[in-house]
Amino acid sequence: MEIPYTSKDRPDTGLYNGKVGIWLFLASEVMLFGALFSAYVLLRVGSDPGTWSLGLMNKWVGAFNTLILIASSVTIVLAWVSLKLKDFAKYRFWQWTTIVFAAMFLVVKWSYEWPAKFTHYDVTFKSNEAAERAFSGAARVAGITNFTDTLKSSWQNRFDPRKQDFDKVELKDKPLDGHIVGYIDEAGHEHSVGAVLNIPFWSHAFIWRTTTLAKKKVKSLILAPSHDIWHAPHAAAPGVVRVAEAHPSAHGASHPAHTVTIPREDIQRLSSFEPKHSTFFATYYTLTGLHALHVLGGIIVMLYHLLPCNHRLWLRDPDRFAGRIEATGLFWHFVDLVWIFLFPILYLL
Amino acid sequence: MEPTKTHVSHDATHDAHHEASFLTKYIFSSDHKVIGIQYAMCGLLFLLFGFGLIMAMRWQIAKPGESIPIIGSLLQSLLGSEVAKGGVMSPALYNTFGAMHGTIMVFMGIVPLAFAGFGNYVVPLQIGAPDMAFPRLNMASFWVFFLGAVVMFASFFIPGGAAQAGWTSYSPLASVVPTDGQVYWLVGMVMLITSSLLGAVNFIATIIQLRAPGMTWMKLPFFVWAQFVTAFLLLLAFPPLEAAGVMQLMDKLAGTSFFLPTGLFVAGQPTDISGGGSPLLWQHLFWFLGHPEVYVLILPAIGIVTEVTANATRRPIWGYKVMVGALFVLGFLSFIVWAHHMYLTGMGTKVATFFQTTTMIISIPSVVLLTCLFMSLWRGSIRFTAASLFALSFLPMFGIGGLTGLPLGFNFTDIHLHDTYYVIAHFHYVIAPGTIFGLFAGIYYWYPKMTGRKMSEFWGRVHFWCSLVFMNLVFFPMFKQGMDGLSRRMSDGGATYAGQDGVLGLAPSTLATNLDIAYAAWGLALAQVPFIINFFWSIRHGEKVTSDNPWNSTTLEWQTPTPPPHGNFVGELHVNHGPYEYSHPDHPQTDYLPQNAPAHPAPDVTRQPHKV
């Protein structure tokens, strides 16, 4: 039994089966991501002042990822063109290039962007007095005399580009964010927070807080206010902080000159920038995570198309194989397009 | 015209040299007919199971707090004495059964049977295709569905039991019920949705690409059109629920607050969540699927009823093109009526007005379809078989279901009727004596093609009349109960409010009806016994068909050997005629003209006369 139109176009529709199939699949994908984008709009419009964390993303990293995805969209077209020109070696080259670009995208996302957020905490306070103590401390290590102006500009930068909500949120509900570089236990001893099992900085994001922090041995936290967001001249640079997390004795990030000690009883809520942190981060991880799974799926399909069995298919039925690469390319353009929407709504707007 | 050939044996099969093992032929098969039967058998089995759940619930409603006879002790030993102590159904178990009854009936019963089962078996045959466009994808679709069903059933046996928040799984309730059953439900749903998406892509691609030569769009049997529109509904309406399912999974597993509002208290305790989510968002995403889903359930049944009606009346379907148009209008409108399920959520009167308007408009194409089917009966010499009886009774039953929906579509009457038994009666009239009767008609009608034997006509009629009577006895009193104010989802059937004053109070007669309904429900169960026995008994002992086209039908599935071999059609196939050329005036020899009959049949005196 032979299914008709698997490689040749049906005369009256002008399409082969795979092309109809992939366009229908993409239509359903549009509805999937459409629903998530709608959820983003509805949640963002309905969010309370001071809860939608804009301006936290490193837009240059996002821009880099956007560029390599666009480049990979070009290279997969070149792979398909090579097949149409009957040049299988060139197809292999461009297919591998696409896979390398796609893998770079995932490496940036999963080994840098996400883990960096998992080690980045923010703290809100039980009382305005406690908040004032912590913010004054942060101002002192940053070398400024009055924290109010710095707080206002960094808060507006993060939550409120239209500069209208600063007075609507109490000081205790404004987060102080930074990296946890140490803690003081109930006996008064100071400990540093370092790498677990010698795995660098993101290991404590997953392990330390589920062990030490969850077991409530902590009396006070030692926090290095974040330079990224807390726009102050003398705060520790993020690189220094991360090195300090991994190798606490090597650098001075846990030095009192760079850190603030916050008693546990002052803390209303401590959360890293994980999905649970806020609806913004929930949306961020869900959207980028689902997109990243699509990238991963694309990589797997592209690797499959490099297997020997597919070379045999190419020799047997070149049109059919080229059709599969075309369908993969259409899927890949869609994945690229989704990212082109994700980049502005999560990094820029 | 070519005389009808009989190919009861398989010797004409092209693939006879390619002997498949039992495993690849019947279990991991990529043949659309085997997959269709797999889907249909699973669907029937799950329908029976879902029906069993509601029978236990009806006992609890009729006799709250009393031990369930026969299965009570079984429930206790299977699910533990926490939820079924002494064979009595606890409120938690009632919630579990209620949620799973809806889920199983809709997503694991009717969709697999009506869309995937009948669609897989019949659509490629009716369009003259050798198989689906993507046979291996088809197999994957079935097995993803099967895995999803396994996950759903497994959740009954975990600590805490299966999902308890209704088939709609409204958050925050669904996110805070103390069972992991909800996680299983969500994972199961994601699998079922994935399966539906793969199936929908396959159906649409097959219908667009694999129509036989000459099978132009307006020669497609109406059943194919119905499946085509249904596939589009599944393709475009299901993904938002998949997105919502992923978000609710994040709420359950990663602690996010997509659907959880700020300041949520559970059991008097503040929750450790960020808040900032929107419960309304879940309802929008759910009903964006939920309403088109209703048409996913009903359209295949309308398609079957159309096929059977044309065949039984021996007349062309009245207004075929109008029906196709109505189908597309219905499909489109079904995407913009969803919030009529949400009038009481406080989403605002302007929004409610919009959805009330679209809801009234969508009743027009439904009425067009029903009217065309009624008109098709006019002056027909109707052949009453088990199949056609079910198809004919579909019309008034679906009519009752549709018309009683109007008061729910109006904002102001819905305020009184919302969440009462009236709603239950309304949608069960659409789906139980509506869709399921359509599906029974399809089973009796296509059974000879699948097995080479007919089901017993006598027991089919017993099945029909008993089902018709008991269906109405079950659901009609619920209209009255609902208008009296009996709320749904009460595990004691409203006994708490018996004889109380004020709007919540219920009259004793309203509650007494619960017992009558329970008797009717058990009667309905007994009425299915002849069907089940007939179904299995006839596989080996039913009346053998003497022709490949025992109903003298026009459509292409009857032009194949019986049962059709792998690859379906023997020889060249060219379609020359419309789908319902019954009693054609230019062709007086027989009262039917198969779609692949020669274009201009010359008068042929040597032709064998057909028995009619």
Give this complex's ipTM. Answer: 0.92
Enumerate residues 213 to 272 of chain B having a beta carbon within 8 A of any beta carbon in chain A.
235-240, 242-244, 246-247, 250, 254-258, 262
Round to whole Å and give the CA distance between A134 and A151.
12
pLDDT score at B23: 84
Round to whole Å and give the CA distance between B456 and B437.
17
Between these two residues, B131 and B607, which has the higher pLDDT value?
B131
**A282 closest CB neighbour out of B135, B137, B256:** B256
Taking the domains of chain A in order of start, what are their residue ranges?
Answer: 17-116+280-348, 126-272
Residue of A nearest to B247 (CA): A286
Question: Are the C-beta atoms of residues B128 and B91 closer than 8 Å to each other?
Answer: no
Beta strands in B445-586, from DSSP E residues, in sequence order: 453-454, 543-544
- With CB atoms and an 8 Å threshold, state whether A17 touches B209: yes
At position B241, the amino acid (one-letter code) is L
Dihedral sign of CA atoms B274, B275, B277, B279 in order: positive
pLDDT score at B339: 95
Would the pLDDT of B284 be above 50? Answer: yes
With bands split at pLDDT 50, 70 and 90, how would you rate the model's confidence at B423?
very high
Taking the domains of chain B in order of start, what are their residue ranges?
Answer: 33-261+274-559
Mean pLDDT over B162-187 rounds to 93
Mean pLDDT over B592-600 rounds to 89
pLDDT score at A255: 54
Question: Are the C-beta atoms of residues A261 and A221 closer than 8 Å to each other?
Answer: yes
pLDDT score at A252: 41
Would the pLDDT of B362 be above 50? Answer: yes
Question: Among A167-171, A224-228, B249-253, B495-499, where is mean pLDDT lowest?
Answer: A224-228
Fold of the domain spanning A17-116+280-348: Four Helix Bundle (Hemerythrin (Met), subunit A) (1.20.120)
- List the beta bridge partners of residue B356: none
Which residues, 6 or more positions from B436, have their beta carbon under 8 angstroms from its beta carbon? B47, B110, B301
Interface check A271 vs B, CB under 8 A? yes
Between these two residues, A200 and B422, which has the higher pLDDT value?
B422
Full 3-state SS string of A257-307:
HHCEEEEHHHEEEEEECCHHHCHHHHHHHHHHHHHHHHHHHHHHHHHHCCC
Interface mutation target, options B30, B134, B201, chain A, most CBs of A under 10 Å: B201
Which residues of chain B make contact with A278, given a CB cutoff of 8 A?
274, 276
Would the pLDDT of B157 be above 90? Answer: yes
Would the pLDDT of B611 be above 90? Answer: no
**A282 closest CB neighbour out of B133, B200, B257:** B257
**B133 closest CB neighbour out of A17, A32, A43:** A17
pLDDT score at B11: 42
Question: Are the C-beta atoms of residues B483 and B417 closer than 8 Å to each other?
Answer: yes
pLDDT score at B27: 87
pLDDT score at A56: 80
Please identify, in words, the CATH class of the domain defined by B33-261+274-559. Answer: mainly alpha
Cβ atoms within 10 Å of B200's Cβ, excluding its own: 29
- With CB atoms and an 8 Å threshold, state whether B258 touches A279: yes
Give pLDDT tens digits for B314-353: 999 999 999 999 999 999 999 999 999 999 998 888 999 9
Question: B397 in helix, strand or coil?
Answer: helix
The token duo for A210 is: 């589920």
Cβ atoms within 10 Å of B447's Cβ, excluding its own: 23
B68 sits in the region (left: phi over 0; alpha: psi -120 to 50; else beta) called: beta
Per-residue pLDDT of chain A (349 residues; tens, 9 = 90+): 789 999 999 999 999 999 999 999 999 999 999 999 999 999 999 999 989 988 788 889 999 999 999 999 999 999 999 999 999 999 999 999 999 999 999 999 998 888 888 878 889 999 999 999 998 888 887 777 788 888 888 888 888 888 889 999 999 999 988 878 777 888 888 777 655 555 555 555 556 666 666 666 788 888 888 765 555 454 455 555 555 555 554 444 445 557 888 998 999 998 888 899 999 999 999 999 999 999 999 999 999 999 999 999 999 999 999 999 999 999 999 999 999 999 999 999 8
Interface check B79 vs A, CB under 8 A? no
pLDDT score at B612: 47
pLDDT score at B559: 95
Interface check A279 vs B, CB under 8 A? yes
Query: Chains A and B: how many Cβ contacts under 8 Å?
Result: 141
